[in-house]
Amino acid sequence: MPNEMILMLHASFGVLAILASVWVFAETLTNSVASQGRIRWVSLAGAALMWLSYLIGGYWYVVYYGADKALIKEGPWPFAHSFFMEAKEHIFFSLLLLSTYLPMVALRLAPERPQVRGLVLWLSGWIVLLGLAMEGAGALIAMGVKVALLAKGAMGG
């Protein structure tokens, strides 16, 4: 499989995990008996998708990112690595823990437990916010590679 496809799978699973958390957040707002089964299954699916994104992205990062990193650091946007990649690769751990924890809490959902509902809303909300931040950082890192290649091309490299 080409490297680029591995990277696209990482981003795609991340987007699907974010969408699953949006679903969990929206259904938890109503928190009816009918919606609780769906909330549990979708939160589990979200965790599985986030783990897939982590494992695939981690594989790509460890095996292939070195060449991109060298390009970015020599290019016009070195901050795409020094800030965005460094922050992304480490803040991602909090996102992974949140995604893993959410299904555990969703299992406790019941109409008579309003504070569990609040906790599910906070957790899924944080997953959406951090997930979007990760996607944005990923786009900036990709742009860092692109501007580095363009600058290299302009110099005849």
Nearer to another protein, 32 or 115 (CB): 115
d(CA 14, CA 24): 15
Compute and round to an integer the Cα radius of gyration of the chain.
Answer: 18
| 74, 114, 132, 150: residue in contact with another protein (rule CB under 8 A) | 114
Place of tokens 């924890």: 101
The verdict on 64 binding another protein (CB under 8 A) reads no
Q: Which helix (H) or strand (E) holds 50?
A: helix 33-74
| 70, 110, 132, 150: residue in contact with another protein (rule CB under 8 A) | 110
CB of 76 to another protein, least distance (A): 19
The verdict on 35 binding another protein (CB under 8 A) reads no
Q: CA 53 → CA 58, 101, 118, 125, 131, distances in Å?
A: 8, 16, 27, 19, 11
Residues making contact with another protein (CB under 8 A): 54, 58, 61-62, 82-83, 86-87, 89-91, 93-94, 96-98, 100-101, 104-105, 108, 110, 112-116, 118-119, 122-123, 126, 130
